[in-house]
Amino acid sequence: MPIFLSRSFIIPVILFLIFGVAYFFLSPPREFPSGEVISIQKGSSLRSISKGLKDSKIIRSRVAFETFAILYGGEHHMVPGDYLFKSKISVFELAFRITTGEYGMDLVKFTIPEGYDLDEIAKVATPLLHNFNAEDFAQKTINKEGYLFPDTYFLFPATDADQVIKAMSENFSKKIKSLESDILISGKSESDIIVMASIIEREAKGDADRNTISGILWNRIAKGMPLQADAAPETYKNKGLPKSPICNPGLEAIKAAIHPVSSSYLYYIHDKSGTIHYAKTFAEHKINIAKYLK
């Protein structure tokens, strides 16, 4: 004898099955790795990302994740970076975070003072950024001294050497672009400006003497005299500028190299308090040394 189920019974059962299946595929797996950082690489396809998430037991269903990702941002709008999942989240929350770049991590304040060289930058970065490798950084910045702009950056804790170099290089390009016309008018090459700015950054003691020191150093070059800058010892033996920057100058030092203040001075020293003393002749310079440094 056939059994007929009432409509009032079938509908709730169907709804229960639908919601049960939906809940299973949308909820996080039992083995969800709470507290771990997951990296989404730049250029990764949606399918490769979903596979990685499934393999890492962050999602149950690749289809569900890919569907929500497309709905939220489109297949090609996945934001690369490092994501921290402090606790379990549903697949639609996960898709939303990855398509909007909600990393779930506090940024690290990364400050590089003006005049730091590559070794000093690496020493600042190493304890702050757990993926930063000093040897890798040194190898990839062999010709970048002077061209990593000193500034305050806010980076993710998992930032590596490549990302640090990229951030600082792009910042340098942005800053120098605003000075292109001034460099052109100066009649000097950008590379010479940066080398001179790196010396000024190490030689000057503040805003008051940068431009005057710049004028003295350019004047010494024009007269065929060695620079004799303490910050660059090779300038005592060789005339002209060093072959490359000695550090990474800030914007004010670069501006000073572009806009030197003309004077009749050829020498300068700073006393123990940092006050600068100028001299027109070597005889005057020796008097200043005896008076302020001994």
pLDDT tens digit sequence for 76-99: 778 888 888 888 888 888 888 888
SS (H, E, C) the chain: CCCCCCHHHHHHHHHHHHHHHHHHHHCCCCCCCCCEEEEECCCCCHHHHHHHHHHCCCCCCHHHHHHHHHHHCCCCCCCCEEEEECCCCCHHHHHHHHHHCCCCCCCEEEECCCCCCHHHHHHHHHHHCCECCHHHHHHHCCCCCCCCCCCEEEECCCCEHHHHHHHHHHHHHHHHHCCHHHHHHHCCCHHHHHHHHHHHHHHCCCCCCHHHHHHHHHHHHHCCCCCCCCCCHHHHCCCCCCCCCCCCCCHHHHHHHHCCCCCCCCEEEECCCCCEEEECCHHHHHHHHHHHCC
Q: What is the mean pLDDT of residues 159-168?
A: 93
Local confidence band at 20 (pLDDT 50, 70, 90 cut-offs) = very low
The pLDDT assigned to 102 comes to 84
Q: Which DSSP string do the residues of 88-114 spell out, in sequence order?
A: ---HHHHHHHHHHT---SPPEEEE--T
pLDDT greater than 80 at residue 202 = yes
pLDDT greater than 80 at residue 22 = no
Q: Measured between alpha carbons, how far is 240 from 191 in angstroms, rounded to an integer?
A: 13
The pLDDT assigned to 97 comes to 87
Local confidence band at 4 (pLDDT 50, 70, 90 cut-offs) = very low
Q: Which token pair is 214?
A: 């710049």
Q: Measured between alpha carbons, how far is 112 from 235 in angstroms, rounded to an integer?
A: 26
In tens, the pLDDT along 171-198 reads 999 999 999 999 999 999 999 999 999 9
| Domain limits, the chain | 108-177, 187-263
Q: Measured between alpha carbons, how far is 277 from 270 in angstroms, rounded to an integer?
A: 6
Q: Which of 36-40, 41-45, 86-90, 145-149 has the highest mean pLDDT?
A: 145-149
- What percentage of the chain reaches a pLDDT higher than 70? 91
Averaged pLDDT score across all residues of the chain = 87
The pLDDT assigned to 131 comes to 85
- Which distant-in-sequence residues (6+ apart) come within 8 Å of 11 by Cβ? none
The pLDDT assigned to 201 comes to 97
Q: What is the mean pLDDT of residues 241-262?
A: 96
Q: What is the mean pLDDT of residues 270-284?
A: 93
The pLDDT assigned to 72 comes to 84
- What percentage of the chain reaches a pLDDT higher than 90? 57
Least Cα distance to 110 among 172, 170, 148, 164 occurs for 164
Local confidence band at 60 (pLDDT 50, 70, 90 cut-offs) = confident
pLDDT greater than 60 at residue 10 = no
CATH architecture of the domain 108-177 equals 2-Layer Sandwich (3.30)
Beta strand ranges found along the chain (DSSP E): 36-40, 81-85, 108-111, 152-155, 267-270, 276-279
pLDDT greater than 70 at residue 288 = yes
